[in-house]
Structure 1
Amino acid sequence: MDQGIAAVLAGVAGLVGAGIGGLTTAYGARVGAQKSIEAVQVQVDRQAASEHEHWVRDQRKQVCNDIATAWTAFFYTSAPCMGNVASRQPVTDEQLTALDTAYQAVAVACHQLIMWGPDDLTVSAELLSRACLGINSNARIWPQILTSAQESAISGHMAAAEEASRALSSALARYVTKARATLTAPY
């Protein structure tokens, strides 16, 4: 009977061991599954953040392209007007209308950047828009000053036109520097 009791005890011990092993395996599988779920959640969060950053960068790039396109049209529209001011020639109504339209396109494009930032790029775009407004305002009042035939007013306005051109060049350089830095920065 000793062998029978030993066999029964061995069977009970094996059964208890199998139960403990099964519980340990189930617990290990549960912990492993939980860690897998956490890893997937982290990966999904990181992927979503990366895709969002990419999307925002694409939006910024589009707005910066819109600003560049509008500014190019403004440049080619304002150059003849400012050339007329520099040579003391009148600016026509057609030129002023085209200049107003070109300025409005720059202002709208620059304003769109407020949605996408960053703040330093938005500020530089606003300065560019204001500099374009300075050129536009300068050209708009030129016909009145020219017809006044007052040499001091004409000379003063020509000096203001040169200053507006310098301000535009400076604002453009700042904007381009900020746009390049923003669009080429790593994620």
Structure 2
Amino acid sequence: MKDFVIPLVIALIGLAATGLGAVVGARAAKFGAEKSAEAVRRQVQDQGAVEHGHWLRQQRFSTYESFLEAWDECLRITQASAADDAQDSTGLEDLRLAADRMAERARRIAILGPPEVTRAAESLAETMQEDVKVAVQFIEVTQAAIAAVDGQPIPTEAVSEATDAYRHHCQQLVELVTDHRSQGRDLRELDGHPMLRAAMESMEQYRLRSGEAREALSANVERISAAASEAFSMADVLTRNREARELSREEFTSAAREALSKTPTPELPADPG
């Protein structure tokens, strides 16, 4: 009996070992297949990441370039308008459209990144759009001041006529008085004389017209001074914006150069194995 049991146990052990070997082998094969599949997946993912990085770099380059083109267009318009001393609104409308293009391309940069380039681009676009608003406001203030001055013109012609009349009658009165004195006559005889009355009337007209001119001039000076004060404030804003743009342009150029100097690659998920 004992002799029979021992071989049976040995046989069972061998059978179990064989089954265990099969299981281990199957497990090993499955593990190897999974590792191989993971390696292929990882390779495909890495390749996709590299291609995406190249695509992103190209998109950034194109968008940065188009943004600077819009910025340069703004500069050309402002320089041309200043050189031509244009009085119509064509140049301003062109500038507004170019500034809007800057803002639209800055929004695209915000999508493509990186943050350093985005901040500089947004600062450039914002200050340029603010300049357009200030320019529109300046035109409105100037036009309002001109309309106000035109609405209360200084009566220079009336003042000139009153002045000439006053001088003429005064000269006549001087001649009349001189003539009376040379004849030894009493100057009281001139009381009520038509020439004296005409001189007094011309003096009153001169006083009235001069007063009207002073009032109109004072009102116009106040309007012009107020407009000039606003213009100086706007000039301060434009100066600050220009200085800010000079700094932002340097920051944009530096950040864009840094961003384009390397191919961006997105972060990949950690290997679960």
Please indicate, yes or no, whether the TM-score normalized by the shorter chain is above 0.5.
yes
* Aligned counterpart, 1:71: 71
2:104 aligned to 104, 108, 111, which one? 108
* Residue among 253, 257, 269 paired with 1:180: 257
Q: Check whether the contact 1:121–1:179 (CA below 8 A) recurs between aligned residues.
A: yes
Q: Please, which moves more after superposition, 90-99 or 63-72?
A: 90-99
1:108-134 superposed Cα distances (whole Å, 9 cap, x missing partner) = 111111221222222221111111112
Which deviations, in whole Å up to 9, do the C-alpha atoms of 1:60-82 show, x marking residues without a partner?
Answer: 1121111011111111112344x
| Higher RCO by CA contacts (8 Å cutoff, separation 6 or greater) | 2
C-alpha distance in 2, partners of 1:31/1:158? Answer: 74
Using the alignment, how far apart are the partners of 2:86 and 2:27 within structure 1? Answer: 88
Residue of structure 2 aligned with 1:98, choices 94, 97, 100: 94
Total equivalences in the alignment = 165
Q: TM-score, normalised by structure 2?
A: 0.51
Larger radius of gyration: 2
For 1:114, give the aligned amino acid: A
2:27, 2:237 → 1: CA distance?
80
Aligned equivalents of 1:175, 1:140: Cα separation in 2: 27
Q: CA deviation at 1:38?
A: 3.1
Contact residue 60 and residue 116 of structure 1 kept, 8 A: yes
Q: What is the identity, as a one-letter code, of the residue corresponding to 1:66? A: S
Give the residue type in structure 2 aligned to 1:121: V
Q: SS at the partner of 1:185?
A: coil
Which runs of 5 or more structure 1 residues have no equivalent in the other structure?
1-18
Question: 1:121 aligned to 2:117?
Answer: yes
Counterpart of 1:154 in structure 2 is 231
Report if aligned partners of 1:91, 1:139 keep a CA contact under 8 Å in 2.
Answer: no
- CA shift in 2, pair 1:110/1:136, >3 Å: same
Q: SS in structure 1 opposite 2:113?
A: coil
Which AA in structure 1 matches 2:116?
D
The residue number in structure 2 matching 1:167 is 244
Q: Which of 90-99 and 53-62 deviates more?
A: 90-99
What's 1:131 paired with? 127
| Cα pair distance change 1:155/1:25, threshold 3 Å | closer
AA in 1 matched with 2:237: A
In the other structure, the counterpart of 1:59 is 59
Aligned positions of 1:40-55 closer than 5 A: 40-55=40-55
Shift of 1:142: 2.6
Kept in 1, the 8 Å contact 2:53–2:263? The answer is no
Partners of 2:26 and 2:237 in 1: CA distance = 82
CA distance in 1, matches of 2:239, 2:231: 12
Q: 1:131-158 deviations in whole A, cap 9, x for unaligned?
A: 1112222322232344533243333333
1:27 positional shift:
8.4
Tell me the TM-score normalised to structure 1 length: 0.71
- Identical pairs, percent: 24
Report the residue type matching 1:161 in the other structure: L
Contact preservation (8 Å) 2:60, 2:112: yes
Cα pair 2:54 2:263 within 8 Å, conserved: no
Aligned-partner Cα distance in 1 for 2:137–2:87: 9
Matches of 1:129 and 1:163, distance apart in 2 = 14
Aligned letter for 1:96? L
